[in-house]
Amino acid sequence: MKENGSMVRRVLVATDRSETAEVAVRFAAEMATRFGADLVLVQVVIPPATTSVAMTEDLVRHARELAGDHGFGTVVVGDDPAKAIIEAAETEDVDVVVVGNVGMSGRKEFLLGNVPNRVSHGTRRTVVIVNTMQRVEEQAQKKRRFFR
């Protein structure tokens, strides 16, 4: 437990930097803020793509925008995103893992479609699965109403 009695010290959220993933990131940031916890953003890069210093710096910058000095970011490479997220949760010693339920398309969807399920069954950490598509659809409906 943290000094303040909270069981939540560190919150990790997986992101592919998409609009739907950002819904999960914002959810995790709010959770981290409420618990006074660290926020760790993790981005999984699937080979043959590679990471770069700029990619990592951008992720860290985003985490800092959301959580100040409590914001951290890491980019990892892995063929199996669920496994990479689980390993990052272990490496970062987080208490909660946040993942979105949708947001991929094409090859990514085929490879990553069951990531939330696999993460929830493959880790001993608490997992929160955010219904990201519902929120994106709600925002789109609001925009359509506004522009009518």
Residue spans per domain, the chain: 10-146
Identify the pLDDT of residue 113: 55
Q: What is the pLDDT of residues 54-101, one digit of tens each?
A: 999 999 999 999 999 999 999 999 999 999 999 999 999 999 999 998
Provide the pLDDT confidence category of residue 114 given band limits of 50, 70 and 90.
Answer: confident
CA distances from 93 to 38, 58, 73, 97 (A): 11, 22, 14, 10
Tell me the average pLDDT of the chain.
Answer: 87
Residue 124 confidence (pLDDT):
95
Q: How far apart are CA 93 and CA 50, in angstroms?
A: 25
* Residue-level pLDDT at 61: 97
Please report how the helices 115-122 and 81-91 are oriented relative to each other, as an axis angle in degrees rounded to 10: 40
The whole-model pTM stands at 0.82
Beta bridge partners of 43: 75
The predicted pLDDT at position 19 comes to 85
Q: Which amino acid is at 114?
A: N
Confidence tier at 43 by pLDDT (50, 70, 90): very high
Q: How many CA atoms lie within 13 A of 70 on its CB side?
A: 19
User: What pLDDT shows up at residue 14?
Assistant: 94
Q: Counting beta carbons within 10 angstroms of the beta carbon of residue 97, is it exposed (0 to 12), middle (13 to 18) or buried (19 or more)? A: buried
Q: Can you give the pLDDT at residue 129?
A: 92
Segment 15-24 mean pLDDT:
90
Q: CATH number of the domain at 10-146, please? A: 3.40.50.620
